[in-house]
Amino acid sequence: MGRIPYQADLPIQAYLSPSKIPNFVTDPGYQLLGTLNVIITIPTEEERNIIVVCVFSDTELHAVALEQENEIPFAATLQVIE
């Protein structure tokens, strides 16, 4: 998928891997965990670089999304498949 002008959200699929060194989500044993959705607060026509960092700690998954150029934070939510 290419650049989408005025994109209001950025869905990112998150997978679980049985391997300590994951390769491809099509490999045996991989499972779709859900979709991490980054909300782009002010969509623009220009191409933007978004940094998404996921931290697995304690009993929670934390996600932080920032626009790379000016470090504007974006909200990120995880929709887990049941």
The two tokens of residue 69 are 């150029």
CA distance 33 to 79: 8
Specify whether the CB–CB gap between 74 and 66 falls below 8 A.
yes
Q: Which one is predicted more confidently, 70 or 3? A: 70
pLDDT tens-digit map of 10-22: 999 999 999 999 9
pTM over 0.85: no
Look at residue 1 in the predicted model and tell me its pLDDT: 62
Look at residue 64 in the predicted model and tell me its pLDDT: 86
Is residue 49 situated within a structural domain?
Answer: yes
CA distance 65 to 75: 7
pLDDT tens-digit map of 21-71: 999 999 999 999 999 999 998 899 988 899 998 887 778 778 889 999 988
Sort residue 16 into left (φ over 0), alpha (ψ -120 to 50) or beta.
Answer: beta
For the chain, the residue count is 82
pLDDT tens-digit map of 55-67: 877 787 788 899 9
Is residue 2 situated within a structural domain?
Answer: no
Can you give the residue range of the structural domain that contains 48? Answer: 9-80
Residue 17: CB atoms within 10 Å:
15
Is residue 29 situated within a structural domain?
Answer: yes
Q: How many domains does the chain have?
A: 1
